[in-house]
Amino acid sequence: MTRALVSVPKTARRGEIVDIRAMIAHPMETGYRMGPNGAEIPRHIITRLVCTYGGDEVFAAEFFPAMSANPFVSFSLIAAESGTVSFAWTDDTGQTETASAEIVVS
């Protein structure tokens, strides 16, 4: 797989609601298209994104062929403790790409 980008605030106050953004460069090939030679282009999509915060799963999403290429996900978290926000994308072939960022809560 390829490059992933994440946006997590470096600092936050305890209890603050913070915006989390994540994007991964991926073709998200649906499996429904035919190539120029008439042969089916095999499906190749990310099937699952999991986000953990301080080791606990806080967000997860199943992806389907209708998702666009380079899927972008945005959600909110409540800043509870300083820790690592980690992301893991898994695709059809079982490969996993990860990214993470630290947040300092005061």
* Footprint on this chain of another protein (rule: CB under 8 A): 3, 5-7, 21, 23, 25, 69-70, 72
d(CA 22, CA 9): 12
* For another protein, the closer CB: 72 or 81: 72
In the bound complex, what is the minimum distance in angstroms from residue 52's beta carbon to another protein? 19
83-94: b (≥16 Cβ within 10 Å) or e? bebbbbbbbeee
In the bound complex, what is the minimum distance in angstroms from residue 68's beta carbon to another protein? 10
In the bound complex, what is the minimum distance in angstroms from residue 84's beta carbon to another protein? 17
* For another protein, the closer CB: 23 or 58: 23
Residue 12's alpha-carbon distances to 15, 79, 100, in angstroms, are 8, 7, 17
User: Cβ distance 80 to 52 under 8 Å?
Assistant: no
* For another protein, the closer CB: 37 or 56: 37
